[in-house]
Amino acid sequence: MSRNESKRCPWSESGNKDYQLYHDVEWGVPVHDDLTHFEFLLLEGAQAGLSWAIVLKKREGYRRAFANFDVERVARFNRRSVERLINDPRIIRNAKKIEAALINAKAFLAVQEQFGSFDHYVWDFVNGAPIVNRWRRQSQVPATSPESDALSKDLKSRGFQFIGSTIIYAHMQATGLVNDHLMSCFRHEPCQSFVQRDTSRR
């Protein structure tokens, strides 16, 4: 590991290997497939009021419990499915969050139907290219933004649940709509390089 690679965003330095791997490999990398968008929306909704470390620990359990995050299959889950999930120790057994995941799956499909893909829909809120921030301290990183406010409001109007602005900003960070790696972090520059690639997609 190079000297620069030893510098990470402070939140990832808890000693939790899953946390560090998530930071080093996924966080801030632009996502353009709907399956991953749905996965993160589901997981971030489950996180509400809890730590992301807890959710990461249960991520594989969620994958198995929610049909590999296949949104069409999740949208067909019924009352028996909810009862099964409430009793599944592999996931966070919160009835409201589980029911919201099923509601959101149906709303997600409606967005796909209207816009061609959820990806096209969500990236329009950042004009098609990642927002690159240049924070020097963790305390500068916001919990929400005008873009997350707007996206959250629109999602709510479409029937989504557990998608407040804080959750949506976390989604934007996770899926690379926003690059919030600190300037000192070795992942800031690699994630910034995606701006050029994403702009070329437009």
Tell me the per-residue pLDDT of 89-131, one tens digit each, with 9 for 90 and over.
999 999 999 999 999 999 999 999 999 999 999 999 999 999 9
Model confidence band, residue 3 (pLDDT cutoffs 50, 70, 90): very low
Catalytic residue, candidates 19, 27, 39, 44: 44
Domain ranges of the chain: 8-201
Position with higher pLDDT, 165 vs 1: 165
Burial class from Cβ neighbours inside 10 Å (0-12, 13-18, 19+) for residue 39 reads buried
Tell me the per-residue pLDDT of 137-162, one tens digit each, with 9 for 90 and over.
999 999 999 999 999 999 999 999 99
Give the CA distances from residue 65 to residues 7, 31, 74, 80, 111, in Å, rounded to whole numbers and listed in that order: 35, 23, 10, 13, 23
Catalytic residue, candidates 19, 27, 52, 62: 52
Q: Which two tokens stand for residue 144?
A: 């929400």
Q: Which two tokens stand for residue 125?
A: 């809120």
CATH 1.10.3720.10, applies to 8-201: no
The residue count for the chain? 202
pLDDT number for residue 2: 44
Indicate the pTM of the whole model.
0.91
Does 123 qualify as catalytic in the annotation? no
Does 44 qualify as catalytic in the annotation? yes
Does 27 qualify as catalytic in the annotation? no
Closest CA to 148 of 128, 173, 129: 173
> What's 116's DSSP letter?
S
